[in-house]
Chain A
Amino acid sequence: MSNYLYLIPLVPFAGFIVNGLFGRKLGDRAVGFIGCTVIGLAFVLSIAAFVELLGYDPYQRHIEAEWFTWLAAGKLQIPFGMLLDPLSAVMILVVSGVSFIIHVYSIGYMHGDRGYARYFAYLNLFVFFMLLLVLGNSYPLMFIGWEGVGLCSYLLIGFWFTDDAKATAGKKAFIVNRIGDFGFLVGVFLLFGAFGTLTFSGVADQVLLWVDPKTVFFWIGLCLFIGAVGKSAQIPLYVWLPDAMAGPTPVSALIHAATMVTAGVYMVARNSFIYVMSPGALEIVAWVGVATALFAATIALVQNDIKKVLAYSTISQLGYMFVGCGVGAFAAGISHLMTHAFFKALLFLGAGSVIHAVQHAYNHTGYTGDPQDIRFMGGLRGKMPTTYWTFVAATLAIAGVPGLSGFFSKDEIIWKSFANGHSAVGIIAMIAALLTAFYMFRLVYMTFHGSWRGRRGQEDHLHESPGVMTLPLTVLGVLSIIGGWIMIPHALHGGAWFEKFLEPSFAVADEIAPMHGSHSLPFEYTIMGISVLLAISGILWARAWYIQNPEAPKKLASRFKVAYQLLLNKYYVDEAYNFAVVETTLGTADGLWKFFDVKIVDGLVNGVAALMGWLGSIFRRLQTGLVSNYALMMTVGVVIIIGYLVWR
């Protein structure tokens, strides 16, 4: 086992090295081939690891392979090791599998791009860091992956850096993420302070024996959650994700929908033993999650950019995953993480296919418009059947139509919220589910149904994408449909196999605080029924407005102008942040600098003099003038420090 566990992240890394160093010389075909092969290999290895894991007894499924002692400093001993348990097994399968599909898709999508080799090198590097993140057996290793994926995300968002907005978006993503990382790091320091070890299993062992007050867990949990909020785009740090859609669409699919953004959820699930020690922290996780789910869903209702709708939908769905973790149903959160990876990757790739086609049509007619605006689409159903049908499959899945993957995972989260006594959270999650069904079908109807609303003549140039792009769509379409069948709950006479498989990973958490949720079957059926009803009414609502009576939404928008504008402008959060954070920070920095270096040193001393009109000759003789000012300030420092020591 330990022999090849390292290879899972290392193989993509080798791809990065080869593509990064020799990419330009190798030519596009070879680069694409290498890029996909290494990820395919990682996927095969992940399957092998998974199969081997299945061979063990459920509660023996915890394999730590330590390579060498990575960091050793006195008491701080951190091995460089990999941890394979059901949780990380699921993660590596999802990450390498979805990555592989998206790499293949990228061959077609990025065809002919100037930075083809660079693109694949970054993408391979991303997969390396992501696999390291989920496989690492200690917090520092996880943090390296955590920062690494952030770096790649940043590089890939700004991939076409000639576009200024994209570069800005990349920067924004990075800076917002740093706020989260700050929380993560402080959390890790607190962990180290409390337990003196930084491996997951080491900390888990000590948590089991913990007898001291539990407040430390609240702070650790909160700090780590700040990290998760940054990476997984939750309120209030979600602002970077919609902007991140500026990158190439496959990148949006892979990094900003399927894998990287779910790292926060993975991290909370991995730390389940910390969170169950602090109900307060869990409560925060649940509420932030559900608030984000609803908040982002309302914004998605009125967006006109196909990728923006999907971006807010991603934020909303990530909220669901945190609700799952927050109500103590970590397995449900991870289930939704997996199904979401399938259908959201599919939605983005489908959107990419649509954008690709529309851009193609625009280019042929010499029109330079925004190829992502759904107001100028319509009727694509007939032109691109594969894209259409797979997109519909994913939409049905995310809307929670029974039988498809999204239904099982989302319903499980909503049910667990009620079962574990968080009814308010559950009700809000249900409302968000209704909105989800609505905005997703609005997107489908506006894009694929009706007739072409762009320029006349353009529709003749719309074509289905090449096979290398539609094949991944089909594969993901199948997964979006059947991906949930392994989690059919007992209530529906399924085996809930997935939940059972994940159970050992949350065993410590379960031992500390067993969840004695409700097991009332009628109650569960009721909740399920309401969920289904809401999903179907959302779909019908969208159909009523966008197929049968297209004037209705416009009328409503003009009647509730303020609300509409508020939603359209995403509650003006970006503007508020820009004012509150960016402007103020820069202003403060500039002000402080002027204050310290100019006002205090030269100013307070010389500036006062300047006011009195004595500036002239003194200020020009900077050489001696300044030095004596500096000396003066130093003397003040001396008086303060010595004064403190003497009169202490």
Chain B
Amino acid sequence: MELILFIITALVALVSAFMVITRRTPIASVLYLVLTFFCLAVLYVMLGAQFIAAMQIVVYAGAIMVLFLFVLMLLSQRGAQTWEVAGPMRKWLGFAAAGGVLLVAATALQSVGVSDTVLDPEIGTVSSVGSALFRRFLLPFEVASVLLLGAIIGVVAMVKRKPYPSETEEGVEHGS
């Protein structure tokens, strides 16, 4: 039962992730991304990490995705921009390279042994995550706040300015 659930969720996650990078309209990409995140949340639950799963849905699938959608909608008011990314040649090279990574990773991951350690049922619960955050990971937790502070100031610094010139005002010189 669990195995079947896992296979279905994993497949959906993979397919929707693939769709994210192949869709031409950004909105569609974002929606597929939401789906991917949901599937990941299911996988977290199956690993016993309920709190992380909840966070995954609340923060990523919820807040961040909504933000993405808003940005895209605001942007598309200024004229929708489809990203003309690649000619066929580059697309195939891209696939080849990604395939290479996949091949290498697949080879390497075959060596992952099946662990028979019984996980502590407490792991992934709110209290254990909270206790880990404020005890063992106290410093990283605080550093993360600096990171976010930097990001906030940075965004303000970059946005609160004259608008970005619409077209490149100077040719971008490549390798001269």
Q: Which A residues contact B (CB, under 8 angstroms)?
A: 593-594, 597-598, 602, 605-606, 608-609, 612, 614, 617-618, 621-626, 628-629, 632, 635-636, 638-639, 642-643, 646-647
Size bin of chain B's contact surface: 20 to 34
Quote the shortest CB–CB distance from B100 to chain A (angstroms). 4
Give the 9 A-B residue pairs with the shortest CB-CB distance, closest first.
Answer: A639-B100, A635-B97, A597-B175, A609-B87, A614-B87, A609-B89, A642-B104, A646-B108, A643-B104
Q: Are B90 and A629 in contact (CB under 8 A)?
A: yes
Whole-angstrom CA separation of A642 from B172 in the bound complex: 33
* Residue in B closest to A636 when the chains form the complex, CB atoms: B97
Spot the interface stretch: B78-86, B120-128, B146-154.
B78-86
Q: Are A623 and B98 in contact (CB under 8 A)?
A: no
> Out of B84, B85, B107, which one reaches A647, CB within 8 Å?
B107
Quote the shortest CB–CB distance from A20 to chain B (angstroms). 38
Whole-angstrom CA separation of A635 from B104 in the bound complex: 12
Q: Interface code B83-118, partner A: CB below 8 Å = 1, 0 otherwise? A: 111110110011001101100110110000000000
* Residue in B closest to A626 when the chains form the complex, CB atoms: B174
> Out of A593, A606, A635, which one reaches B100, CB within 8 Å?
A635
Whole-angstrom CA separation of A593 from B175 in the bound complex: 9
Q: Are A639 and B101 in contact (CB under 8 A)?
A: yes
Q: Are B85 and A624 in contact (CB under 8 A)?
A: yes
Would you give 7 A-B contacts (Cβ < 8 Å), ordered by A? A598-B174, A598-B175, A605-B89, A624-B85, A632-B93, A635-B94, A639-B104
Q: Are A606 and B108 in contact (CB under 8 A)?
A: no
Q: Are A609 and B97 in contact (CB under 8 A)?
A: no
Across the interface, which residues of A come within 8 angstroms of B90, CB to CB?
A: 605-606, 609, 628-629, 632
Give residues of chain B (149-174) contacting chain A, Cβ–Cβ below 8 Å: 168, 172, 174
Q: How many A-B residue pairs have CB under 8 A?
A: 65
Q: Are B84 and A642 in contact (CB under 8 A)?
A: no
* Residue from A617, A621, A639 whose CB has the most chain B CB atoms within 10 Å: A639
Across the interface, which residues of B come within 8 angstroms of A622, CB to CB?
A: 172, 174
Whole-angstrom CA separation of A481 from B89 in the bound complex: 80
Across the interface, which residues of B come within 8 angstroms of A621, CB to CB?
A: 84
Whole-angstrom CA separation of A639 from B93 in the bound complex: 13
Q: Are A623 and B101 in contact (CB under 8 A)?
A: no
Q: Are A639 and B89 in contact (CB under 8 A)?
A: no
Q: Are B93 and A605 in contact (CB under 8 A)?
A: yes
Across the interface, which residues of B come within 8 angstroms of A598, CB to CB?
A: 174-175
Q: Are A624 and B83 in contact (CB under 8 A)?
A: yes
> Out of B83, B84, B101, B168, which one reaches A635, CB within 8 Å?
B101
Quote the shortest CB–CB distance from A600 to chain B (angstroms). 11
Q: Are A638 and B101 in contact (CB under 8 A)?
A: yes
Whole-angstrom CA separation of A598 from B90 in the bound complex: 15
Whole-angstrom CA separation of A646 from B85 in the bound complex: 32
* Residue in B closest to A597 when the chains form the complex, CB atoms: B175
Whole-angstrom CA separation of A639 from B108 in the bound complex: 12
Across the interface, which residues of A come within 8 angstroms of B85, CB to CB?
A: 624-625, 628
Q: Are B89 and A612 in contact (CB under 8 A)?
A: yes
Quote the shortest CB–CB distance from B122 to chain A (angstroms). 35
Contact of A618 with B86 at beta-carbon distance under 8 Å, contacts A628-B94, A632-B94, A636-B100 already known: yes
* Residue from A624, A636, A646 whose CB has the most chain B CB atoms within 10 Å: A646
Whole-angstrom CA separation of A643 from B97 in the bound complex: 12
* Residue in A closest to B90 when the chains form the complex, CB atoms: A605
Q: Are B98 and A635 in contact (CB under 8 A)?
A: yes
5 extra interchain contacts, Cβ-Cβ under 8 A, other than A597-B175, A612-B89, A635-B100? A597-B174, A614-B89, A618-B84, A639-B97, A646-B104
Whole-angstrom CA separation of A638 from B97 in the bound complex: 9
Q: Are B108 and A642 in contact (CB under 8 A)?
A: yes
Across the interface, which residues of B come within 8 angstroms of A609, CB to CB?
A: 87, 89-90
Quote the shortest CB–CB distance from B151 to chain A (angstroms). 21
Across the interface, which residues of A come within 8 angstroms of B86, CB to CB?
A: 618, 625, 628
Across the interface, which residues of A come within 8 angstroms of B98, CB to CB?
A: 635
